[in-house]
Structure 1
Amino acid sequence: MSNFWRSAAIRGAMFFALWVILTLGDRNDFAVGIFAAIIATWISLFLLPPAPTHPSLLPLLKFMLHFFRQSVIAGLDVAKRAFDPKLPLNPGYVQFSCPISAGPARSAFCALSSLLPGTMPVKSDATGNVLVHCLDTLQPVVEQLSKDASLFRAAAGAVRNDG
């Protein structure tokens, strides 16, 4: 089965499952649900064609565990800084050279990075530079983002296409 048809089957099944959830499994709506899933699948394949790579389960699990751990650590750090006025805040911007290709993969990485307390990707350019706002520029933000990006690439199969 080609990557296109595999993606179509998975997306179609997901859209139909969403329909079943939304209609609470009412069998009278199955025909409409199948039609809606086919249309939604066709539109999604047109708007976001299947990628040549797909997520890997073990690296995805590693990334999820790492992300959860980082969320807790960063959340505790932000809370500590908010409630202890003696702790320094050095807000500002850092430049991060993102190894993930521009497009959906980099957008997904930046969206996930914005969920980590204390960092917010603000702008990305075609060369791979991402401007990140952080609460403390003295912290190893770029090194942490590099590690996150490496784990994300392994999980998502995202590679840079710059030659």
Structure 2
Amino acid sequence: MKRRAVELAARQPYSPRVAAASRVAAFALLWVVLMPSANLGDIAVGLFAAICACATSLWLQPPRQGHLRFFVLISLLPHFLYQSLLAGWDVARRAFDPRMPMQTGLVDCPLDLSPGLPRNTFATITSLLPGSVPCGDNDGALVYHCLDVSQPAVQQLKEEERLFARALVAGDDASQSTGGSS
């Protein structure tokens, strides 16, 4: 029953009003966290600020169809922590052992994630993993600076992309998670 409700929610038609209302609510919540006050004047200013912030965000980043499956993203946290610990250990080993090779360089990682928020979020998440840092974009591929280009960094990043794409739902198709680059 619960799964059916989630599937129906994923197929609901896209509504700019819902996007605007959720942004106003998020900005208002941020205001309450930053300015905890029960004063009516502060609440009015906060609501006005939330509406202005929403209008600006809608202008700068128009809403699109699709959404993030939050619980799937959270389920990736143990994997992310494990990979981060392994990579951190590898970086520390290379930094403190002069015999360990460090062949720094740049690698292009072609991604299937669509440009914009999905790709930027992926770049942000992978920037937290030690050993490789996204540093540019090259014809649809993210450019990463790696400590050791002889390692299979691109294959590891593609696996991370595959896992991250499971948390994305684009448009009305719940099975479509990437905006393929054919």
The TM-score, its normalising length taken from structure 1, stands at: 0.88
CA distance in 1, matches of 2:17, 2:84: 36
CA distance in 2, matches of 1:130, 1:3: 31
CA distance in 1, matches of 2:93, 2:56: 46
| 1:162 Cα deviation after fit | 4.3
SS at 2:76's partner residue?
A: helix
Instruction: Report if aligned partners of 2:27, 2:50 keep a CA contact under 8 Å in 1.
Output: yes
Are residue 124 (structure 1) and residue 143 (structure 2) matched? no
| 1:161 Cα deviation after fit | 5.4
The match for 2:147 among 123, 132, 135 is: 135
| 1:112 Cα deviation after fit | 1.9
CA distance in 2, matches of 1:62, 1:51: 24
Which residue in the other structure is 2:179 paired with? Answer: 160
Aligned residues: 162
Supply the RMSD in Å over aligned alpha carbons.
1.9
| 1:85 Cα deviation after fit | 1.5
Which residue in the other structure is 2:6 paired with? Answer: none
CA distance in 2, matches of 1:102, 1:116: 21
Where does structure 2 lack aligned partners over 5 or more consecutive residues? 1-12, 170-176
| 1:63 Cα deviation after fit | 2.8
CA distance in 2, matches of 1:25, 1:147: 46
Which residue in the other structure is 1:99 paired with? Answer: 112
CA distance in 2, matches of 1:162, 1:139: 25
Change (3 A) 1:148 1:3: farther
Which residue in the other structure is 2:55 paired with? Answer: 42
Instruction: Report if aligned partners of 2:107, 2:146 keep a CA contact under 8 Å in 1.
Output: yes
Which residue in the other structure is 2:81 paired with? Answer: 68
Identity over aligned pairs, percent: 40
CA distance in 2, matches of 1:4, 1:35: 20
CA distance in 1, matches of 2:105, 2:20: 43
Letter of the structure 2 residue corresponding to residue 85 of structure 1: P
Where does structure 1 lack aligned partners over 5 or more consecutive residues? none
CA distance in 2, matches of 1:72, 1:102: 29
CA distance in 2, matches of 1:31, 1:119: 46
CA distance in 1, matches of 2:76, 2:160: 8
CA distance in 2, matches of 1:156, 1:66: 17
CA distance in 2, matches of 1:103, 1:78: 30
